[in-house]
Amino acid sequence: MLRVKLLVYCLLFCFLSYAQEYEYNYSFFSNSSMAGSHYFSRTANSGSSGIKNSNGKLPVSETILHTPGNALQLQYRNAADGKWQAAIYHAEIRGMDHFKKASFLSFWIFIASANTSLQDLPAVQLMRQDSSLTSAYTITAGKANEWQRVIIPTTSIKGFKPDEPWTIIAIVFAGQKSTDNREHTIYIDDIAFLSTDHAGPVSELPVIATTTGYAMHIDITWAKITDKNIRWVKIYRSADGKDYRAVGVQQPYINRYADYTGETGKKYFYKISFVDGNYEETNLSLPVAAATRSMTDDDLLTMVQEASFRYYWEAAESNSGLARENISGRQNMIAAGASGFGIMALIAGTERKFITRQESVARFVNIVNFLDKAETFHGMYPHFIDGLTGKVETFFGNKDNGADIVETSFLLQGLLAARQYFSGNDPQEKLIREKITTIWKKAEWSWFRITPDSKFLYWHWSPDQGWVIHHNLIGWNETMITYLLAIASPTHSVPARLYYSGWANQDSTGQKYRAAWGQTKEGSMYTNGNTYFGIKLDVGVSDGGPLFFTHYSYMGYDPHFITDRYTNYFINNQHIAKINHSYCVQNPNKFKGYGDSAWGLTASDGPDTYYADEPVVWQDHGKITPTGAISSFPYTPAESMKALKNYYFNYGKWLWGEYGFKDAFDLTNNWCSEIYMGLNQAPMAVMIENYRTGLIWKLFMQIPDIRNGLKKLEKEK
């Protein structure tokens, strides 16, 4: 009987924890991240029928729009001898995989051409996952020169299940019967499946809490929103305090808006309102004023650090205080490695007084209490943790349902730096240190050799499938820290010789591994020795690989103090950063925007998926990642500062946001990521701090266990 009860409780509990993950509206369009054209659209036409496009993408309007900043423009011609169509795709965003019930499809239309009657309007169809189309819906909103809403109940869509909105991948507008062969122009905005639940009205009052001016943008904040009927916060700006214009909308789960005005030394007034799920808007808040101001290079560094820091401070997973994988994404899923990076960003933010030491201590008490109780496997954390339960979350599939010793290394790098930073004698700081020591001591590094005579450490272990992933750690890549921490462990260490037999392995296992992912034999011996762009590379596969290799292990570990048989890792990292910069200046693939002040190929969100770019033609897809250049500040201060200024002053309108720089952009494809990644924001805050003061490096390198580990490694040289 007890067993039955426990099972029922577990099922209920598991269901509840699942159900609490934030559900998004399944949306097709509210704004294009870039002006000019919308990346997630595709046009086609035949005969004399046509639809205006830019390389097959729909143009966007920044003047006629329903929600700021833009709307889709459909300028078309219906002729007897052909057809046209425009598909607007749902942009899949990492971790945005829980959706509200789709009660109806809703969009807004603005008919701008006077000669356009109902029969001249396009038909609407929904595209399924197999690219088949539903039957056509006719638009019956025919008034010119005003925004009208179109609603299609999902009950009318044959075979559609309201709780599976993702079975529809695009909304298609297509020319129909009319063959007047004249030009028509309509605008479309805010296409989404919406739910009748939590639609309206709004009970909270909009109030601006703070405004802060920076060089080219103003940050506006308001209290965290609890009213579930709020779909958007709408931001209004005025230059004179009289005429207000809506300049943006913000999601209800972010209580901040970065308004990039593009002008320095100018005063602005702001008001906000709340918009509900029926698009009804509340009254506007009282106005608040702020001004942009000129900033020195030092001010700019602080600005980038503070914005990146906020990702881990005000946008952290709410229960644990740890870092989310990406924003927007799963809201209660913690990423272990990103949390370690975030912990170091929190330390830098505390030292820079973005928060008080008391606030910081309270957060760290919460963090260490959570981690102390969270599920571990032989003392190692999983890659992803459910922030509500502390249990493993299998975001990367069922094989990855146990230990991840690389993610745990990144987490411990942060925790050990924190143990050093919180050196006070009060009970809270003592508790932080004690719990971190417990976490550090329970990590069973030696167990991850599989056998006592193994040359390698293995990345994962599953409680029910054992070594099923069986990925041995071989450098050069981001995993040096795992060998260094395993050697440094006071309780479950591995022999220092594993650094050479595993990480820097030179037998056929290591050679094959490196040649496979590098697609070249250069660097397949761990050592390289070639010169690229006039720069010598001692260690590294291909010409050094993505830049995150030079960041992840060296946010705590100061690479100045890591010299093995082959190189010094500050010098080697610096050379890899310079090769990356030189490659982007040369730009052999001729991608738009690359150059002296736009460089840094590394792992990031891409137009279609997350991948690592490298400075070689076959691994360079046109995507620049701000963290690449900016987290390289200690290695390439001049080149990194040029990139920072270019990204902020020239691209800030679309690249700068609430948590600093968006993850990546691709000017060739006129695309910019809409997300921030936990692995990419903190390295900017931390490596800028290491460049400016060496704070995290100094803290980490004071740790006796870390020093002992490096001494042991020195003896193997």
Binding stretches for Ca ion (CB under 5 A): 31, 65, 67, 71, 189
* Shortest distance, position 533 Cβ to Ca ion, whole Å: 43
Q: Which is nearer to Ca ion, 65 or 696 (CB)?
A: 65
DSSP string computed for 145-183 = SSEEEEEEEGGGSTT--TT-GGGEEEEEEE--S-----E
Q: Which is nearer to Ca ion, 189 or 639 (CB)?
A: 189
Which residue has the closest beta carbon to Ca ion? 67
Is residue 579 within 8 A of residue 535, CB to CB? The reply is yes
Residue 507 identity: D
318-348 burial string, b = 16+ CB within 10 Å, else e?
ebbbbbbbbbbbbbbbbbbbbbbbbbbbbbb
Q: Is 229 helix (H, G, I), strand (E, B) or coil?
A: coil
Alpha carbon 17 to its chain centroid, in Å, reads 23
Q: Which is nearer to Ca ion, 34 or 368 (CB)?
A: 34
CA angle 13–19–25, rounded 5-degree value: 175
* Shortest distance, position 249 Cβ to Ca ion, whole Å: 8
Q: Which is nearer to Ca ion, 191 or 432 (CB)?
A: 191
Q: Which is nearer to Ca ion, 71 or 124 (CB)?
A: 71
Is residue 643 within 8 A of residue 660, CB to CB? The reply is no
Region of 496 (left: φ > 0; alpha: ψ -120 to 50; beta: rest) is alpha
* Shortest distance, position 234 Cβ to Ca ion, whole Å: 11
Residue 100 identity: K
Give burial (CB, 10 Å; 0-12/13-18/19+) of 19. Answer: exposed
Closest CA to 631 of 690, 579, 586: 690
Q: Which is nearer to Ca ion, 31 or 261 (CB)?
A: 31
Closest CA to 528 of 545, 546, 549: 545
* Shortest distance, position 51 Cβ to Ca ion, whole Å: 19
Q: Which is nearer to Ca ion, 30 or 49 (CB)?
A: 30
Is residue 259 within 8 A of residue 247, CB to CB? The reply is yes
- Number of DSSP helices (H) and strands (E) in the chain, helices first: 16, 33
Whole-angstrom distance, CA of residue 33 vs CA of residue 28: 13
* Shortest distance, position 39 Cβ to Ca ion, whole Å: 15
* Shortest distance, position 529 Cβ to Ca ion, whole Å: 54
* Shortest distance, position 65 Cβ to Ca ion, whole Å: 5
Q: Which is nearer to Ca ion, 71 or 418 (CB)?
A: 71
Q: Which is nearer to Ca ion, 32 or 376 (CB)?
A: 32
What is the DSSP code (8-state) at residue 447?
A: G
Is residue 662 within 8 A of residue 647, CB to CB? The reply is no
For residue 285, how many C-alpha atoms fall within 13 Å in the half-sphere facing its CB?
Answer: 27
Q: Which is nearer to Ca ion, 63 or 132 (CB)?
A: 63
* Shortest distance, position 354 Cβ to Ca ion, whole Å: 32
Q: Which is nearer to Ca ion, 38 or 100 (CB)?
A: 38
* Shortest distance, position 671 Cβ to Ca ion, whole Å: 17
Closest CA to 447 of 394, 491, 504, 501: 491
Strands 104-111, 183-194: parallel, antiparallel or unpaired by DSSP?
antiparallel
DSSP string computed for 412-436 = HHHHHHHHHH----SHHHHHHHHHH
Q: Which is nearer to Ca ion, 64 or 468 (CB)?
A: 64
Q: Which is nearer to Ca ion, 149 or 224 (CB)?
A: 149
* Shortest distance, position 30 Cβ to Ca ion, whole Å: 5
CB atoms inside a 10 Å sphere around CB 389: 18
* Shortest distance, position 33 Cβ to Ca ion, whole Å: 11
* Shortest distance, position 60 Cβ to Ca ion, whole Å: 9
* Shortest distance, position 192 Cβ to Ca ion, whole Å: 11
Bridge partners (DSSP) listed for residue 151: 106
Residue 568 identity: N
CA distances from 612 to 364, 495, 548, 624 (A): 32, 32, 9, 11
Q: Which is nearer to Ca ion, 72 or 225 (CB)?
A: 72
* Shortest distance, position 108 Cβ to Ca ion, whole Å: 8
